[in-house]
Amino acid sequence: MQKVEICGVDTSGLPKLSNKENEELMKRIKAGDKQARDTFIVGNMRLVLSLVKRFRIKNLGADDVFQAGCVGLIKAIDGFDISVGVKFSTYAVPMIVGEIKRYLRDGNSLRVSRSIRDMAYKVLKAREDIESGDEEATTQKIAQRLQVAEREVVYALDAISDPVSLFEPVYNKSGDTLLLMDQLCDEKNTDEIWTEHVALSEAMEKLGEREKRILFLRYFEGKTQTEISQEVGISQAQVSRLEKNAISDIRKNIS
């Protein structure tokens, strides 16, 4: 939310309407004045922007969330009843927030259960309440306020976090771009593990065909020794002995 321009709108140049101006424009809107409606929408975009910031949306998703908030603003304008006697912002805030939450819930490519989403919204509200008192909203404080385990707070926040592309630039200087994937290491395919795989393959090749078949059925297909004995045509005791001998030979060959 650090950028100035969202959805092509220069947020630093958005007008700010007084309560009196809002009231006068709303009366004209209800009388069918379309120009007044456009002026009112632009004049209340600051309200949408302030609510979007509550959700701490990343820059890449701020445009879409801001648009969702503007939809909530327009719905509030259309549904507002000037005879009720309340400020427009009082009526509009829950509608804008509701539209943003709906977008975040339905627009997420990763489906999250309703219970986790509800917990996440409670966590966000608790964090906002704590920070409003000039305190740091740690996961421990949020968990204490909601009377839940700290891991539930962490899990709920992780569940609604936006996925990040491995190709997202994290540094750019003089045309040299560093991507997120450039900072990640592959712990499953290190030189050490690759060497172990080669040694294991060579050790397996030294086994007899029956031992290879037993190990394949046991550890790749997950069959029991009794099932293997029926398939191979030998006793379960023989399967057990051949399996242990084969594993022992492998360990000797890769040590």
The DSSP element (H or E) to which 171 belongs, if any, is strand 169-173
Mean pLDDT within 75-98: 88
Architecture of domain 191-254: Orthogonal Bundle (1.10)
Task: Read off φ and ψ for residue 10, nearest 5 degrees.
Answer: -80, 100
Residue 156 to residue 143: CA distance in whole angstroms: 11
Question: 3-state secondary structure string, 2-68?
Answer: CCCEECCEEHHHCCCCCHHHHHHHHHHHHCCCHHHHHHHHHHCHHHHHHHHHHCCCCHHHHHHHHHH
Q: Which two tokens stand for residue 230?
A: 């029926």
CATH number of 1-107: 1.20.120.1810
Query: Between residues 103 and 171, which one has the greater pLDDT?
Result: 103
Q: How far apart are CA 111 and CA 159, in angstroms?
A: 9
End-to-end Cα distance, the chain: 55
Q: Where are the domains of the chain?
A: 1-107, 110-183, 191-254
d(CA 227, CA 229): 5
Distance CA 27, CA 49 (A): 24
Share of the chain above pLDDT 70, in %: 75
pLDDT surpassing 50 at residue 236: yes
Q: What is the mean pLDDT of the chain?
A: 80
Tokens at residue 170, please? 């994290």
**What's the predicted TM-score (pTM) here?**
0.43
CA dihedral 216, 221, 222, 224 (to 10 degrees): -70
Sign, CA torsion 172/177/178/179: positive
Q: 47 pLDDT exceeds 50?
A: yes
Q: What is the pLDDT of residue 167?
A: 59
Mean pLDDT over residues 234-245, rounded?
90
pLDDT digits (tens, 9 = 90+) for 175-213: 666 666 665 665 555 556 666 677 778 888 888 899 989
